[in-house]
Chain A
Amino acid sequence: MSSNLKIYPNDPPSGMVETRGASIWFSHAIMILGVLVVFFPIWLAFVASTVTQPEIVQPPMPLWPGDQFFNNYHEALVSGVNVPVATMLLNSLIMAMGIAIGKIVISLLSAFAIVYFKFPGKMIFFWLIFMTLMLPVEVRIVPTYEVIAGFGMLNSYSGLILPLIASATATFLFRQFFMTVPDELAEAARVDGASPMRFFWDILFPMSRTNIAALFVILFIYGWNQYLWPLLITTDPSMNTIVMGIKQMFPSGDDVANWPVIMATSILAMIPPVIVVISMQKLFIRGLVDSEK
């Protein structure tokens, strides 16, 4: 058939399954349309962050970026609405890093203990930890809030981080991975008289590096995107994280919201997790598939 022209010179032979001509272009058209539709809200937010307030409050707003990019982002970062967005970005970064690193460290250690040792009470501890699988902070917010308030940890980084690292998903993942590590390695280490911690640092930890990186991507986004918890425990605006701080930028009552600055803030809030996801795409997909298995 004459329409069976190769679109791409390197195409493998197409066989009986329709992968030729018009069908391929149609598929591309659908994908492009899908991407455009999915992208539209982000595009609109970006456009709104580059125009002036009057251009937005007089609908319809333009669909192409204006020339106020530097003004709006400068205003957001330096003064914001209640608190400079730069401060909120820093708070979010500390919280996300704290949750990701904290979870990975305590999970590595406890998974090592569970897999490589026999000790009294092991099964009890094992089940205590795994009972927390999938139990989000959302279902126990009031009592957890009271615990944090009792410790005087409201408006503190430890108050933001600690309750969210009490989850067993990472421990479960490392346990699964350690179970696949050949017994011969531990055997050899023991015969050579290496201490357990030496085995952990020199053999187990280096072997887990890919898993750790994949998990880090997932946990960083999990921490960065937290909303309810920071909303409850950071009453001081200077401790707000960016994701929860945006809601605080909307005026109460009938005042008109400062849309260009709010939209600049929402773009700033999505840049770090997007960079992490896109730049570590392979690890991210692997982490996603692993941590949900």
Chain B
Amino acid sequence: MEKRVTFKGWLLPLFLIAPQVLVTAVFFFYPAGQAIWQSLFIPDPFGLSMQYVGLGNFEYLLSDPYYRTSFLTTAIFSTLVTLASMIPALFLAVVADRLIKGAGVYRTMLIWPYAVAPAIAGVLWLFMFNTRVGVVSWYLGNLGYDWNHVLNGGEAMGLVVVASAWGRISYNFLFFFAALQSIPKSVIEAAAIDGARFWRRFLTIVLPLLSPTTFFLLVVNVVYAFFETFGVIHTITSGGPQQSTTILVYKVFSDGFVGQDLGSSAAQSVILLFVVGALTIFQFKFIERRVHY
């Protein structure tokens, strides 16, 4: 990673790197350190003093049924979001890849939802399924299905999953489409000449060649579902009903800012730091492998 040719001097580079180091130190390392520090204390009810409890906050969290449920909710939620955004995207990309003309137009149309913020996506889907004015819930009602995500935890989960996956379909489509376009047509034709029909070609040639992209998207989508779907959940369900859509990031927010339980919220932040760290290492290992691919 070293350049052969470098410039002399050490004052200038320190000066150049200073802004980033400063911003990182003040807004990343200091808060992260604070989170770790606070996670070892419990503030008294009046916020006047802090009592050292060691790993007490963590012990409490890991034995707290609500926190465990939140872990499970997060696992279910991120699995569903990943599947619901990758499968339709792969399907559309495969179909678009067969088209010689017009694929570009479809791509332009499908990019749109990517630009829509998760919170706005939440508002759009809330509007469609609103129990009072929603179009979809009204038609469902006509078909005899009484949609109510405000009371029904399963329906609430379904709605936040669909609203979160919607924008990601664009993103996954772009990556799948680019990967499909880069598969040499000669490979596919050779298989076709040998008599392999579409499904056989897809399963034995296309899918294995897509595996680096698929694996990469898996990691990225899980990270997205963990951390960037806050806006969707806050706008649609606010974590309810009965905490059925309270994912870990939402719980950090609701315990820290709504419940004012700073020790617990800080401990949750620290656990999330480890989760992110693990995912980052996982992804880096994968990238190294992909370079040698």
Let me know if B100 and A12 touch, CB within 8 A: yes
A262 to chain B, nearest CB (A): 7
Neighbouring B residues of A39 by C-beta, 8 Å: 109, 112
Q: How large is the interface on A (under 10, 10 to 19, 20 to 34, 35 or more residues)?
A: 35 or more
With beta carbons under 8 angstroms apart, the residue of A146, A246, A256, A293 that contacts B119 is A246
Q: Note all chain B residues with C-beta closer than 8 A to A73.
A: none
A5 to B228, CA, bound (A): 48
Check if A50 is an interface residue, CB within 8 A of chain B. no
* Across-interface contacts of B174 in A (CB, < 8 A): 285, 288
Majority SS of interface residues in chain B? helix
Residues in B with CB closer than 8 Å to A45 are 123-124, 127
User: Which residues of B sit under 8 angstroms from A15, Cβ to Cβ?
Assistant: 189, 192
Residues of A within 8 A of B147 (CB): none
Let me know if A278 and B111 touch, CB within 8 A.
yes
Contacting residues, chain A, for B118 (C-beta < 8 A) = 225, 227
Q: Inside 8 A of A141's CB, which chain B residues have their CB? A: 252-253, 256-257, 269
Closest to A225 in B: B117
Q: Main SS of chain A's interface residues? A: helix
Q: Tell me, rounded to whole Å, the shortest Cβ–Cβ distance linking B129 to chain A.
A: 10
Question: In the docked arrangement, what's the CA distance between A222 and B61, Å?
Answer: 32
Residues of B within 8 Å of A, CB-based: how many?
103
Binary contact track A37-62/B, C-beta < 8 Å → 1, others 0: 01101101100100000001101110
Q: Please indicate the chain B residues that have their CB under 8 angstroms from the CB of A228 in the complex.
A: 230-231, 234, 253
Q: Does B285 contact A (CB under 8 A)?
A: no
- Residues of the A chain whose Cβ atoms lie less than 8 Å from the Cβ of B14: 113, 119, 121
Cβ contact within 8 Å between A27 and B228: no
Contacting residues of chain B (236-287) with chain A, CB-CB under 8 angstroms: 249, 252-253, 256-257, 262, 265-266, 269, 272-273, 276, 279-280, 283, 287
Partner among B135, B171, B188, B283 whose Cβ is within 8 Å of the Cβ of A59: B135
Residues of A within 8 A of B108 (CB): 278, 281
- What residues of chain A lie closer than 8 Å to B92, measured between beta carbons? 30-31, 34
Name the B residues within 8 Å of A284 (CB-CB).
Answer: 111
Are B5 and A259 neighbours in the complex by a CB distance under 8 Å?
no
Taking a contact as CB atoms under 8 Å apart, the answer to whether B35 and A143 are in contact is yes
Contacting residues, chain A, for B4 (C-beta < 8 A): 183
A139 to chain B, nearest CB (A): 4
19 cross-chain CB contacts under 8 A: A27-B96, A41-B124, A60-B139, A113-B13, A117-B10, A134-B283, A139-B269, A225-B120, A227-B234, A231-B234, A243-B117, A244-B119, A246-B120, A269-B120, A274-B112, A277-B115, A278-B108, A285-B178, A288-B174
Other contacts beyond A225-B118, A228-B234, A276-B115: 5, CB < 8 A: A16-B192, A34-B92, A136-B228, A143-B269, A256-B132
